[in-house]
Amino acid sequence: MIQVTDLGIKFRMEKRRRSGALAFLLERSRGWRQPAAEFWALRHVSFRVERGDTVGIIGRNGSGKSTLLRVVAGIYPPDEGNVLVDGEVSTLFGLGSGFNGDLSGRDNIYLDGILIGLTKNQIDGIIDGIIEFADIGDFIDMPVRTYSSGMRSRLGFAIAMYSDKDIVLIDEIMGAGDAAFRQKADAEMERIIGQKTVLLVSHSMPTIQRFANKVMWLDRGLLQAMGDPKTVIEQYLTASKVTKLVATQDD
């Protein structure tokens, strides 16, 4: 279960400093500094996700979708409000963004596993399954920085699915990889629906409609609607002036 109450997340945005002699005179002689602006990535967001729900999160770029996942994962503490997460979280961010590029895929499995709370013995027990599911061949022992985005996605998805956590966070990744892997990933999603709590960020409305039993629409950090997938998606598309669904890969 996830309970979010009046959540607010803000970031400080340092404005670009003046250059040259003017900056030197203002900043050094008079102690003047360009004030930092505040940007609210999320504000007054409240919702509840029940155990076993698959919630699709939609909205334009910059609407706060990925920030919300990072809050649920415990990466960003709230600046306002409260977040209660009842369960262990397996985090899957876009295209394996949490990987260490200098380490091999095999080493990153251990690193990511430890970061989400698995013991070495637990990782030893699932690593063969992860490697088989990712199906990236000899690249598993090469630095992740040499991987294509699709290979990073394969490995990240495999780690998340095999970690056996209560809550799975998926950010812009379901359309990554080749057709064969997407089919395998879709089958794995079908398997965990109802068994785990899933938050799924995607720009692909067909993907959201296929897997989600609820949809949340964020816009400029505000929760615009949450509920029945068909209803909320229609509201979002109408507001975005999109007249039909187009089956595309996730951005």
* Residues 109-164: tens digit of each pLDDT: 999 888 888 899 999 999 999 999 999 999 999 999 999 888 888 888 888 888 88
Q: At what angle do helices 105-115 and 149-162 cross, to 10 degrees?
A: 40
Flag whether pLDDT at 32 surpasses 80.
Answer: no
Query: In whole angstroms, what is the distance from residue 146 CA to residue 25 CA?
Result: 46
pLDDT band with cut points at 50, 70 and 90 for residue 251: very low
Residue 28: CB partners within 8 Å, gap ≥ 6? none
Q: At what angle do helices 149-162 and 120-134 cross, to 10 degrees?
A: 130
Pair of tokens at residue 146:
């040499």
pLDDT band with cut points at 50, 70 and 90 for residue 80: very high
- pTM for the complete prediction? 0.81
Write the pLDDT tens digit of every residue in 43-64: 999 999 999 999 999 999 999 9
Query: In whole angstroms, what is the distance from residue 138 CA to residue 146 CA?
Result: 12
Neighbours of 54 (CB within 10 A): 24
Q: Which of 163, 196, 206, 176 is nearest to 54 (CA)?
A: 196
Pair of tokens at residue 77:
């503490």
pLDDT band with cut points at 50, 70 and 90 for residue 18: low
pLDDT of residue 165: 84
